[in-house]
């Protein structure tokens, strides 16, 4: 199963929307390209380093971007920051002995949570509220979250309709029947659920978590190759899992625009991008073929919420990055558009201690 190997981060300032796209190159360095107002303003540039993992990236405040990866020589988590128009000179180590690529999310401006697996495939986490002082504070100290994952962890941060905050995580278990497991932190209890639970499904690849103010959606590809889905709300708890059909070779990508719409994507066994939408709780009847030719999971970036503009990126067959632009609109389908090559020399390989 092809996982997510691209990362993105975006912020808006003085009427300009800035997007960074990151990939790991064939030289194992992290590379990026920047766009302002949906137009490239640079070619691919190297941030250096020698990495085992694909990158993760986030912007937690205006003008700042942080990108993370797992270093090749000691398996430590490292990050580099873009701020005031300049990148840090060196990669900063957060320590750890990491067995999966990092995932990141933010609860509020300035807050940053990073999670991954250690070399025993248990989930570990660090966080900062100012971009400098990390908790736990020691370089090699991480907060243990337990579990034993067969793939990678995914994580989503959100504010709740009750005025609190929530972090949701998901992993696949190990063994011959890897079910999806989840765990939650909320600011009201100010604590994590004690154990990984809410087991369901028979999954492969990596899980996907999407959170809105009062709903969490869990998505993944089942052993049958179809996309499977389950959701949770404060009022009703967990729904019964449901098959969304299809036949896929990549992990699922997804984004929510408010509580009434969820768009999901994955690469079919024909290497083409497939798309499905849930509107007001009802899924579209079929998967929409959006074309392309992918050697990675798709990466969707909402470039302009008011206009419904979305750009989907992926790694093409020759290591070049490809993209196509879509308008979300009010219906289920987007309509296939032209695909463009953005150059680059990215690797579609990935890092994981567990099974593929």
Distances (CA, A) of 203 to 83, 142, 179, 209, 228: 39, 28, 6, 14, 9
User: How many Å apart are CA 54 and CA 100, to the nearest integer?
Assistant: 9
Whether 353 is in a domain gets the answer no
Whether 354 is in a domain gets the answer no
Whether 140 is in a domain gets the answer yes
The predicted structure's pLDDT at residue 307: 79
Q: What is the mean pLDDT of each run of 10 residues along the chain (356 residues)?
A: 94 87 97 93 96 97 96 96 95 95 96 96 95 85 94 94 92 90 94 94 96 95 97 94 98 90 97 97 97 96 85 95 94 95 92 64
Place of tokens 């939408």: 277
Whether 255 is in a domain gets the answer yes
CATH number of the domain within which 169 lies: 2.120.10.70
Whether 351 is in a domain gets the answer no
Q: Are 149 and 172 in contact (CB under 8 A)?
A: yes
Whether 58 is in a domain gets the answer yes
The predicted structure's pLDDT at residue 354: 60
- Identify the domain containing residue 240 by its residue range: 7-341
The predicted structure's pLDDT at residue 198: 94
Distances (CA, A) of 224 to 227, 228, 273: 9, 10, 18
User: How many Å apart are CA 151 and CA 265, to the nearest integer?
Assistant: 19
User: How many Å apart are CA 14 and CA 299, to the nearest integer?
Assistant: 26
Q: Per the structure, how many domains does the chain have?
A: 1
- Global confidence as pTM: 0.95
The predicted structure's pLDDT at residue 139: 79
Give all strands (DSSP E) within 213-308, no chain letters: 215-222, 227-233, 237-238, 242-245, 253-256, 261-267, 273-279, 282-283, 288-291, 299-304
Whether 349 is in a domain gets the answer no
């Amino acid at each position: 199963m092809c996982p997510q190997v691209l990362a993105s981060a975006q912020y808006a300032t003085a009427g300009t929307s800035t997007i960074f796209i990151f990939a790991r190159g064939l030289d194992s360095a992290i590379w990026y390209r920047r766009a302002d107002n949906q137009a490239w303003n640079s070619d691919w540039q190297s941030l250096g380093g020698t990495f085992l993992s694909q990158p993760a990236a986030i912007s937690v405040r205006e003008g700042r971007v942080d990108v993370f990866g797992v270093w090749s020589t000691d398996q430590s988590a490292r990050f580099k920051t873009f701020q005031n128009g300049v990148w840090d000179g060196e990669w900063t180590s957060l320590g750890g002995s990491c067995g999966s690529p990092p995932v990141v999310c933010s609860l509020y401006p300035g807050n940053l949570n990073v999670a991954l697996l250690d070399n025993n495939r248990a989930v570990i986490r660090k966080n900062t509220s100012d971009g400098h002082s990390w908790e736990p504070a020691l370089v090699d100290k991480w907060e243990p979250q337990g579990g034993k994952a067969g793939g990678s962890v995914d994580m989503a941060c959100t504010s709740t309709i009750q005025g609190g905050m929530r972090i949701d995580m998901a992993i696949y278990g190990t063994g011959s029947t890897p079910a999806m497991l989840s765990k939650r932190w909320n600011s009201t209890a100010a604590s994590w659920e004690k154990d990984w639970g809410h087991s369901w499904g028979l999954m492969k690849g990596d899980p996907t978590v999407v959170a809105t103010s009062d709903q969490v959606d869990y998505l993944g590809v089942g052993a049958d190759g179809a996309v499977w889905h389950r959701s949770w709300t404060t009022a009703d708890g967990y729904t019964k899992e449901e098959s969304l059909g299809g036949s896929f070779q990549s992990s699922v990508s997804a984004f929510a625009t408010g509580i009434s719409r969820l768009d999901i994507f994955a690469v079919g066994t024909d290497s083409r991008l497939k798309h499905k939408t849930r509107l007001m709780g009802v899924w579209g009847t079929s998967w929409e073929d959006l074309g392309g030719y992918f050697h990675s999971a798709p990466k969707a970036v909402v470039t302009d919420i008011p206009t419904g503009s979305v750009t989907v990126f992926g790694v093409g067959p020759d290591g070049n990055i490809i993209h196509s632009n879509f308008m979300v609109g009010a219906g289920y389908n987007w309509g296939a558009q032209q695909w463009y090559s953005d150059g680059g020399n990215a690797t579609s390989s990935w890092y994981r201690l567990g099974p593929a």
